[in-house]
Amino acid sequence: MKPVIFGLSGPTLTANEAALFREADPLGYILFGRNCIDREQMRALTDALRDLSGRTDLPILIDQEGGRVARMRPPEWPAFPAPAAFAALYARAPSSAIAAAKANGQAIGAMLAEVGVTVDALPLLDVAQPDMTGAIGDRSYGTDPMQVAALGRATLDGLAAAGVVGIVKHMPGHGRAQVDSHLELPRVDASDAELKIDLQPFGTLAHAPMAMTAHVVFSAWDADRPATLSPTVIQRIIRDRIGFDGLLMTDDIDMKALSGTPADKASAAIAAGCDVVLDCWARMDEMAAIADRLDSIAAGSRERLDRAMVGVGKPTDIPFADLIATRDQLLALA
């Protein structure tokens, strides 16, 4: 198994993709809107990926946050509120906001499990700052670290109750970035003391099964390399200080914040201490080059993967409509 998660080009698995994936045996896959047409098609696609890998607990990821970040969309699937909706309720009724976030997470998880998706890239634990990039914006659970952690925990618990794994992101924090890492490399010059605020939600949820890195330079820790490519940030901050021992994946290595060839970036991320590389865009030449460059997954990373996927496919049976009704009744309090 290679420590990489690949994207797919369309709603079905192509012959060329199947041949490459069979040889490379990637750790998992990630789906986007181009892969999500309807329930029957998605279930057939995810079943085909499981059959190809021979793993029933195969990580099949999606970014289904709610609000503007949603790959499964109406009219086939319902819309979900952005995370900021739960932050607004928390300001008035914290316990109600936590209950609403858990019901929402479980409803999202149930929708994903129905079509065979096993991992959701949610929740964001990025603490909002007044001048943060709009790329985060209403995706954040707020400005208070305790609030962010509480709503993030509720979302993780909701997903887990549906038999779906959550990913906390973007470790060690994207809230101070003033530019969009999809387009350029953000640099954060806050002091170590100031950055303690950003680390708090991640430390509170250090038990999370999976996490995603931030393509952000933190000059207080490593002035030359973004967190994704920094052995210092990954070991000293993420592993030691935050205490995270789950599966650590990169954000998409195709984002413009990182420079170099896809294979170079993938190799550097693994060398820095990431467990797995995320490569989203299904370009055959790039995927082949990454697979050729990477060695098989390290034993420690495989153990983290197995631990993260233990709860997959073990849902608590609560009707989807009841979860949505509970969430909406609580959100109406805001």
251 is catalytic: yes
Strand pairing category for 64-66 and 69-70: antiparallel
pLDDT at residue 313 in the model: 82
Angle at 68 between CA 65 and CA 313, to 5 degrees: 25
Residue-wise pLDDT tens digits, 253-290: 998 889 899 999 999 999 999 999 999 999 999 999 99
Q: What does the alpha-carbon distance between residue 189 and residue 115 come to, in Å, rounded to a whole number?
A: 43
User: For the domain that residue 320 is a member of, what is the CATH number?
Assistant: 3.20.20.300
Q: Are 101 and 158 in contact (CB under 8 A)?
A: yes
* Parent domain of 168: 2-331
pLDDT at residue 175 in the model: 87
Q: What does the alpha-carbon distance between residue 210 and residue 246 come to, in Å, rounded to a whole number?
A: 5
Name the domain count of the chain: 1
pLDDT at residue 211 in the model: 98
Q: Per-residue pLDDT tens, the chain, 334 aa: give them.
A: 999 999 999 999 999 999 999 999 999 999 999 999 999 999 999 999 999 999 999 999 999 999 999 999 999 999 999 999 999 999 999 999 999 999 999 999 999 999 999 999 999 999 998 887 777 889 999 999 999 999 999 999 999 999 999 999 999 999 898 777 887 889 999 999 999 999 999 999 999 999 999 999 999 999 999 999 999 999 999 999 999 999 999 999 998 889 899 999 999 999 999 999 999 999 999 999 999 999 999 999 999 999 999 989 888 889 999 999 999 999 999 8
pLDDT at residue 76 in the model: 97
Q: Which of 25, 182, 254, 264 is catalytic?
A: 182
pLDDT at residue 314 in the model: 80
Q: Which of 126, 198, 251, 252 is catalytic?
A: 251
Report field, pTM of the whole predicted structure over 0.85: yes
> Can you give the chain as a three-state secondary structure string?
CEEEEEECCCCCCCHHHHHHHHHHCEEEEEECHHHCCCHHHHHHHHHHHHHHHCCCCCCEEECEEECCEECCCCCCCCCCCCCHHHHHHHCCCHHHHHHHHHHHHHHHHHHHHHCCCCEECCCECCCCCCCCCCCCHHHCCCCCHHHHHHHHHHHHHHHHHCCCEEEEEEECCCCCCCCCCCCCCCEECCCHHHHHHHHHHHHHCCCCCEEEECCCEECCCCCCCCHHHCHHHHHHHHHHHHCCCCEEEEEECCCCCCCCCHHHHHHHHHHHCCCEEEECCCCHHHHHHHHHHCCCCCHHHHHHHHHHCCCCCCCCCCCHHHHHHHHHHHHCCC
pLDDT at residue 51 in the model: 97
Q: What does the alpha-carbon distance between residue 167 and residue 121 come to, in Å, rounded to a whole number?
A: 5
Q: What does the alpha-carbon distance between residue 99 and residue 122 come to, in Å, rounded to a whole number?
A: 17
Q: Are 27 and 1 in contact (CB under 8 A)?
A: yes
